[in-house]
Amino acid sequence: MEKSPKIILLFCLFVNFAQAQFSPDLKKLAAMMQGSFSSEQQSKNDSAYFDIRLQIVPIWQERTDGIWMYVEQAVAKMQEKPYRQRVYKLTELENGKFESAVFLLKSPLRFAGKPEMVNQLSPDSITLKEGCSVILKKEGKKKFVGGTEGKSCASDLKNAAYAGSEVFITNKMMVSWDRGFDKEGKQVWGAQKGGYRFEKKRK
């Protein structure tokens, strides 16, 4: 059954109203994060880094509790089988800070390459990855910088006790340095030299 033009118009007005509730800085951060990214150039310059593709698209745009995004990360040669799929919720905190909360999906591979399907998820189909939020702060007019705080983001990958992320975001690039550490604070996984440099290919 087709929706009437009046229903479509009301829905569009509702989405526009919902988005209007967010501050210019929060919307700017979301716009910087959304798009198609690649670390191909970095992998060519340094063999220590892989060619990784990163896709971030908006979802649930009618919601007013934050800006929601679906995130998919995969090795360039295996994009049909992403090794990381998440949902992010962007909100504005006090003191000019912003939080990107991280959520896990149930049976995530069913959404690989199909971000439109994520819109059909109900809230109980995602789980908050507690302690793993990235806290960001605007620096100047053209970048946001931040990361996880403390040792609260638990990880058991390669005998790690916790994980940490450092993030740098501009209009043209996102730098992400994800690492795992054991109980003594020794790095046990992740890039050694610095973060992955994801260049934005398209919005």
Give residues with Cβ within 8 angstroms of 197, minimum separation 6: 39, 41, 42, 173, 175
Give the H/E segment covering residue 54. strand 52-59
Out of 95-99, 174-178, 196-200, pick the least confident. 95-99
Query: Residue 10 pLDDT > 50, yes or no?
Result: no
3-state DSSP call for residue 18?
helix
pLDDT of residue 121: 80
Q: Could you tell me the pTM of the whole model?
A: 0.86
pLDDT of residue 123: 77
Q: How many CB atoms lie within 10 A of CB 131?
A: 15
Summarize the confidence of residues 21-27 as an average pLDDT: 94
Summarize the confidence of residues 62-90 as an average pLDDT: 94
Out of 10-24, 92-106, 137-151, 168-182, pick the least confident. 10-24
Q: Check if the beta carbon of residue 86 is closer than 8 Å to that of residue 59.
A: no
Q: Check if the beta carbon of residue 132 is closer than 8 Å to that of residue 148.
A: yes
- Residues 120-144: pLDDT tens digits? 887 788 999 999 999 999 999 899 9
Q: What distance in Å separates the CA atoms of residue 180 and residue 182, rounded to the nearest whole number?
A: 7
Domains of the chain: 22-202 (2.40.128.590)
